[in-house]
Amino acid sequence: MNERVVNKVWGVAPCAISFFIFAIVLFSDFMPAPFSNYAAQRFFLAGLLVIVAVFSSGFLIRRDGFCYLTQVWPATLVCIGFVFLSLPFSKAQVVWVEPGMYALFFLGFVQAGLLPKQWKQKENWVIILVSVTAIVSAFYGATTVLVYLFAMSDRVAKLSEYIPWGFVNIRYWSHIATWLLPLLPLAILIGPLKKLRLWRFFVALGTALWWWIVFLSSSRGTMLGVSFGVLLVALLIGRPAVPWLKVFLRYLAYGIVAWFVLSIFIPSMLLDDVSTRSLKSDTSGRMPLFAEAWRMSLVEFPLGLGPQSWLTHEIITENYRRSPKFGHPHNMYLMWAAEYGWLLIGAILILAAQAMRLFWKRRLELARDDTHALPLAAFTASVSAALLHAGVSAVFIAPGSMLIGFLVLSVFWALISEDRSVSYSASIAKRTIVAIMTMVAMGVLCLFWINEVRVYHGAMINDQVFYYEKVPEGSLPRFWLHGNYPRHESQMP
Q: What DSSP string describes 316-355?
A: --HHHHHSPP-SS-S-HHHHHHHHH-HHHHHHHHHHHHHH
Instruction: Please give the residue that has the higher pLDDT: either 418 or 339.
Output: 339
Mean pLDDT of 93-102: 94
Position 301 in a domain: no
Three-state SS sequence of 120-171: CCHHHHHHHHHHHHHHHHHHHHHHHHHHHHHHHHCCCCEHHHCCCCCCCCHH
Instruction: Please give the residue that has the higher pLDDT: either 64 or 328.
Output: 328
Calpha distance 147→130 (Å, rounded): 26
Q: How confident is the model at residue 285, as a pLDDT? A: 81
Position 474 in a domain: no
Q: How confident is the model at residue 430, as a pLDDT? A: 81
Examine residue 493 and say whether the peptide bond preceding it is cis (omega within 30 degrees of 0). no
Q: How confident is the model at residue 2, as a pLDDT? A: 47
In the predicted structure, residue 65 carries a pLDDT above the cut 80: no
120: region left, alpha or beta (phi > 0 left; psi from -120 to 50 alpha): left
The number of beta carbons lying within 10 Å of the beta carbon of residue 394 is: 25
- Exposure string (b/e) for 228-237, b if CB count within 10 Å is 16 or more? bbbebbbebb
Q: How confident is the model at residue 277, as a pLDDT? A: 66
Give the tens place of pLDDT for each residue, 437-484. Answer: 989 999 999 999 999 999 999 999 999 999 999 998 888 999 999 999
Q: How confident is the model at residue 276, as a pLDDT? A: 66
Counting Cβ atoms within 10 Å, is residue 268 exposed (0-12), middle (13-18) or buried (19+)? exposed
What does residue 275 show for φ and ψ, rounded to 5 degrees? -115, 125
Q: How confident is the model at residue 1, as a pLDDT? A: 44
At residue 224 the predicted structure's pLDDT band, cuts being 50, 70 and 90, is very high
Calpha distance 78→81 (Å, rounded): 5
The answer to whether 187 touches 133, Cβ cutoff 8 Å, is: yes
| Boundaries of domain holding 396 | 3-281+329-443
Contacts of 450 (CB under 8 A, 6+ apart): 46, 47, 50
Tell how many helices (H) and how many strands (E) occur in the chain: 18, 0
Position 311 in a domain: no
Position 466 in a domain: no
Q: How far is CA 227 from CA 44, 213, 376, 399, 443, in A?
A: 31, 16, 17, 24, 41
Calpha distance 369→19 (Å, rounded): 32
Calpha distance 332→199 (Å, rounded): 37
Dihedral sign, Cα of residue 76, residue 82, residue 83, residue 84: positive
- Exposure string (b/e) for 151-160, b if CB count within 10 Å is 16 or more? bbeeebeebe
First to last CA, the chain: 56
Calpha distance 53→442 (Å, rounded): 7
In the predicted structure, residue 57 carries a pLDDT above the cut 80: yes
In the predicted structure, residue 118 carries a pLDDT above the cut 60: no
Examine residue 267 and say whether the peptide bond preceding it is cis (omega within 30 degrees of 0). no
Position 315 in a domain: no
Give the tens place of pLDDT for each residue, 358-376. Answer: 999 999 888 766 778 999 9
In the predicted structure, residue 28 carries a pLDDT above the cut 90: no
Position 323 in a domain: no
Position 348 in a domain: yes
Number of separate domains in the chain = 1
Give the tens place of pLDDT for each residue, 148-162. Answer: 999 988 888 788 888
Q: How confident is the model at residue 340, as a pLDDT? A: 97
Amino acid type, 176: I
Q: How confident is the model at residue 32, as a pLDDT? A: 77
Position 92 in a domain: yes
Q: How confident is the model at residue 432, as a pLDDT? A: 85
The answer to whether 217 touches 174, Cβ cutoff 8 Å, is: yes
Calculate the average pLDDT of the chain: 90
Give the tens place of pLDDT for each residue, 367-415. Answer: 766 778 999 999 999 999 999 999 999 999 999 999 999 999 999 999 9
The answer to whether 456 touches 100, Cβ cutoff 8 Å, is: no
At residue 66 the predicted structure's pLDDT band, cuts being 50, 70 and 90, is low
